[in-house]
Structure 1
Amino acid sequence: MKNFKFLALSIMISSLLAFATACGNEAEEGATEGTTTEETTEGATSEETSEEAAELEGEVAIDGSSTVAPIGEAVSEEFAGVHPKVQAPIGVSGTGGGFEKFIAKETDISEASRPIKEEEKTAAEEAGIEFTEFKVAFDGLSVVVNKENDFLDQLTVEDLKKLWIEDGNVKKWSDINPDWPAEEVKFFSPGTDSGTYDYFNEVILEDEQIVKSAQLSEDDNTLVKGVTGDKNGIGYFGYAYYLENKDNLKVVPIVNEAGEAVEPTNETVESGDYNPLSRPLFIYVNNASIKDKEHVYEYVKFYLENAAELATEVGYVSLPEEEYTTQLETLEGLK
């Protein structure tokens, strides 16, 4: 009997211990599961917060040259695929008009088809703006005529001067060559706010007045329509706009310094054989925007990293790879 009581007591104690152990394990598992869930939730929240903080957003204010605009538009489109919350629309006020907005602190980036002028530099300094110039591509300023023009096969710089400089007379093709038609030439030129106009003025007009009959426009597409719509039309604009409309236009070979008539092509622009109408294209960046706006810094970095490919795609000529590398190092130094 005593042995039976002792056995019963032992069984009861064992059962209690087993029950307590089971409860303890469940509690521990519950605590572990709770902690794991909490930690997972906190971890996910932390990652989401980090991703949100890393995601760029804002607007990059850009204006300037209509010649550089096709590169900028391609860059903005590709950049939006990586950073959809960053807006980077491209304005086309012309190089001069773009610099006016840049100096007024209305833009972060100014696209230019010529270097900044001394008076523009001075105005920027007086406005307290520090900026950096980046070269993005080469362009061959293209002289074009109507597709029906079957007599003009080349022009010299002197021919261009005779045609485009105002001298008080109605300009006819026969003024350049008596074998050409005695018909009035119709001129289409970028507007005076355009860097393309400035470059043509410097190289061809040499600061003389452009023909008064010339139709001026900051929109290169307007110039294309003007030349294609008049059999006696002649105009000039960036190489990309010629390529885009080459089926409807005839490009004119220009006699270079070596006496050779050369058409603008990627090869002749890059080699310098297409002179004197080859030129570099630029963007000017407000240094304060680089330092204070992460999305502007990332946009300019993306621009320089992809300019070679995108400039070529839209019809311009890329710089040597080492020039982009050097400029990226310059950009990094501005942060």
Structure 2
Amino acid sequence: MKKAKNLLLLVVMSAVVVFTAACGSDGDATGSELEGSVVVDGSGTVYPLMARLAEDYMVNEQENVSVEVSRAGTSAGFKKFLAEGGTDFNNASRHIKEEEIATAEELGLSVKELKVALDGITMVINKENDWATELTQQEVIDIFLASAGKKNWSDIRPDFPNKPITTYGPNENHGTYEFFFESILDEQDLVGGINLQQDYSTLVDLVSKDKNAIGFFGFGYYVNNQDKLTAVNIDFGNGPVEPSLETIKEDGAYAPFTRPVFTYLNEDNAKAQPQVLDFAIYALNNAATAAEETGFAPLTEAELAEQAEYLESLK
């Protein structure tokens, strides 16, 4: 009798385990086993962050989902995003413009701005440049401002070399260019002859080969090329500040050259395609770690969680 009871108990427990496993399996299939594609384009500055998140997502979360991340530039990316059958996300190193919002409204697209990290505009010079490692904010402005008329390094400071300054930066497709033009130069014309490039790797190469060069781009590109370039410490009025993850904060010492970076989500695509929404939620939940790994200052957990909670509500 005792053996019979034990046998019955074993059968019942086995049935419970099988039932529980089956329920768990069904839950995983509907909640996490996704397939399809997610298309991301836009900012070259934000590219390293989103590419890292995409790679981690495909490896660790959804091996049957293909997340394609490109880097046409913020403005060029918005043109692709704000079109019939456009991309799912547009990375941006600036806020969406009023005319871009109007285009979205005309197309009937629901667009959600997602703030993902903080970036610092970093001035970079050639490794052999040992005179301009520290500049004031006004000196940076004068170097890039057409009306300032500073052509030689000695025009910035008399003890600097009497050599022509060669200036570099990203072209008009990039939000970094627009931020620099609008927020740092106060929408005044850039110096004539500035070499503007689409590809950030080209900028790195050009500055690394030109002793008299100075250029600008996001901090992450400097971090990944410290062996080729030197970052300029900027004096905003209280002494030189080195761009770093510690100083690049909204209220930090590098704040005048700090800006938020974003990805914009097509909400209609997110509601229609579970993998798009799932990647969006994953990106926000993991943005802080990926940011630090790719040269961005992370947002607070509370700020990221609030945005992730909103996305959860779209399910």
Quick one: distance in 2 between partners of 1:199 and 1:51?
44
Range with bigger deviation, 164-173 or 142-151: 164-173
Secondary structure of the corresponding residue to residue 230 of structure 1: coil
- Would you tell me which structure has more helix in proportion to its own residues? 1
Q: Matched residue pairs, number?
A: 291
Quick one: distance in 1 between partners of 2:255 and 2:33?
45
Quick one: distance in 2 between partners of 1:162 and 1:52?
58
Quick one: distance in 2 between partners of 1:53 and 1:302?
13
- Write the deviation string for residues 19-70 of structure 1: whole angstroms up to 9, x where unpaired: xxxxxxxxxxxxxxxxxxxxx9xx99xx69x849963111111100011000
The equivalent of 1:111 in structure 2 is 91
Residue number among 59, 78, 100 corresponding to 2:37 in the alignment: 59
- Would you tell me which structure has more strand in proportion to its own residues? 2
Secondary structure of the corresponding residue to residue 259 of structure 2: strand
The equivalent of 1:161 in structure 2 is 141
Give 1:302 shift.
0.7
Q: Which residue identity lines up with residue 319 of structure 1 in the other structure?
A: L
- Write the deviation string for residues 179-211 of structure 1: whole angstroms up to 9, x where unpaired: 111111111101111011111111222222222
Percent identity of the aligned residues?
40
The equivalent of 2:270 in structure 1 is 290
The equivalent of 2:15 in structure 1 is none
The equivalent of 1:75 in structure 2 is 53
Quick one: distance in 2 between partners of 1:97 and 1:213?
23
The equivalent of 2:296 in structure 1 is 316
Quick one: distance in 1 between partners of 2:99 and 2:135?
33
The runs of 5 or more residues in structure 2 that have no matched partner are 1-17
1:196-275 alignment runs, 5 A limit: 196-256=176-236, 258-270=237-249, 271-275=251-255
Residue number among 144, 153, 166 corresponding to 2:124 in the alignment: 144
Give 1:169 shift.
5.6
The equivalent of 1:36 in structure 2 is none
Quick one: distance in 2 between partners of 1:308 and 1:176?
39
Aligned CA distance change for structure 1 residues 78 and 170 (closer, same or farther; 3 Å):
same
Quick one: distance in 1 between partners of 2:302 and 2:135?
35
Q: Which residue identity lines up with residue 192 of structure 1 in the other structure?
A: E
**4+ residue runs over 3 A deviation:** 50-54, 167-170
The runs of 5 or more residues in structure 1 that have no matched partner are 1-39
Taking structure 2 as the reference length, the TM-score comes to: 0.87
Aligned CA distance change for structure 1 residues 329 and 171 (closer, same or farther; 3 Å):
same
Give 1:140 shift.
1.0
Largest Rg, 1 or 2: 1
Range with bigger deviation, 152-161 or 51-60: 51-60
Range with bigger deviation, 156-165 or 297-306: 156-165
Alignment pair present for 1:304 and 2:292: no
Give 1:267 shift.
0.9
